[in-house]
């Protein structure tokens, strides 16, 4: 063995490791952009079945894309316009009630009385004493934390609005350009295997569209059932809470939990007109509903939408959320459907060849 070979091998290995680290850091730096692109591509594939349905009715592609985008934005705008007047009315009523309570000068005593009725075994005076002592010791830190928190929340709100706008623009572009994007990918595949590849790719992209429709169906189920239930228990502004349940249900894995927690907390706020026991009944209802959705509704809907067994739906959603967060939870079930398509139509036939 020549003397310089170990050094050359070590040099190449060091360069390879450095290149790998640089690629990982680049992916981390571009994680937000990749999230925007992945979300927009996912949404465009979800809208593609509606666009394809319109093009089969002899509409040009651009008109079908325009109609689809306008319909989707119109539906969301209608929901927002329906909710905002109710929300503004309820918020104004809440502000008026808070103003009356503050001006009465008995706000603290009334709150203590409400807390004693809610938790009769709690020593309210002792708890308030501890809170008062802690506030006196940490008032300066709390003030600075509040200032920093306002800046962080403002920045996050601006980033969220700009990110939503970017995703919307990318979604419109991808939806219009899906045929050309598919064609560009298909041209890379050798001609001898192109037809088979196109068939599998079309099945995989169709599964994404069916998954999006299935997720919307689960959101509608949660929203309708929430409206009926919250109206029965006389919860505050049930229409707004039902819309919250619908939108959060569109987020896989953690959406229903987050929306349900928010609804229960809103039912817990005193002075909104809901019975004092409404939050407890709502918490019990959503605890049961989340179990039914996770193990009954979601597997059945997703099995019909993307032909994925119920157990695989749960495992895929948990794994995708753990690996890639929100984007992973969004794409986990379509990826599982794609793997099953390849397994059933490619791997099994090859294994059965003699």
Tokens 């948990």 correspond to 318
C-alpha–C-alpha distance, residues 186 and 189, integer Å: 6
User: Which pLDDT belongs to residue 150?
Assistant: 62
User: What Rg, from alpha-carbon coordinates, does the chain have?
Assistant: 27
Q: What is the tens place of the pLDDT at every residue in 123-145?
A: 666 766 676 666 666 655 555 66
Low-confidence ranges of the chain (pLDDT < 50): 1, 3
Q: What is the crossing angle of helices 61-104 and 107-118, to 10°?
A: 110
């Amino acid at each position: 063995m020549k003397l310089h070979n170990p050094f050359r091998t070590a040099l190449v290995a060091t360069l390879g490791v450095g290149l790998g680290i640089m690629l990982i850091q680049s992916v981390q730096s571009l994680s937000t952009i990749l999230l925007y692109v992945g979300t927009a591509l996912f949404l465009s594939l979800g809208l593609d079945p509606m666009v394809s349905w319109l093009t089969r009715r002899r509409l040009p592609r651009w008109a079908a894309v325009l109609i689809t985008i306008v319909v989707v934005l119109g539906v969301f705008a209608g929901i927002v316009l329906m909710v905002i007047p109710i929300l503004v009315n309820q918020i104004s009523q809440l502000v008026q009630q808070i103003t009356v309570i503050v001006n009465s000068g008995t706000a603290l005593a009334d709150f203590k009385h409400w807390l004693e009725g809610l938790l009769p075994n709690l020593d309210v005076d002792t708890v308030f004493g501890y809170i008062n002592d802690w506030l006196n010791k940490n008032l300066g830190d709390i003030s600075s934390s509040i200032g920093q928190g306002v800046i962080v929340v403002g920045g996050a709100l601006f980033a969220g609005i700009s990110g939503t706008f970017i995703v919307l623009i990318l979604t419109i572009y991808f939806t219009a350009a899906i045929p050309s994007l598919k064609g560009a990918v298909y041209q890379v595949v050798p001609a001898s295997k192109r037809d088979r590849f196109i068939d599998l790719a079309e099945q995989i992209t169709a599964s994404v569209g069916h998954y999006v429709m299935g997720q919307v169906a689960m959101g509608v189920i949660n929203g309708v059932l929430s409206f009926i239930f919250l109206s029965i228990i006389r919860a505050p502004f049930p229409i707004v809470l039902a819309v919250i349940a619908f939108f959060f249900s569109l987020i896989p894995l953690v959406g229903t939990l987050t929306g349900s927690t928010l609804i229960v907390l809103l039912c817990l706020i005193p002075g909104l007109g809901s019975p004092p026991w409404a939050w407890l009944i709502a918490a019990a209802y959503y605890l049961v509903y989340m179990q039914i959705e996770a193990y009954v509704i979601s597997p059945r809907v997703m099995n019909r939408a993307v032909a994925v067994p119920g157990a695989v739906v749960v495992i895929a959603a948990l794994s995708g959320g753990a690996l890639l967060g929100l984007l992973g939870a969004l794409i986990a079930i379509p990826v599982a459907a794609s793997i099953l398509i390849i397994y059933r139509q490619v791997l099994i036939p090859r294994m059965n060849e003699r």
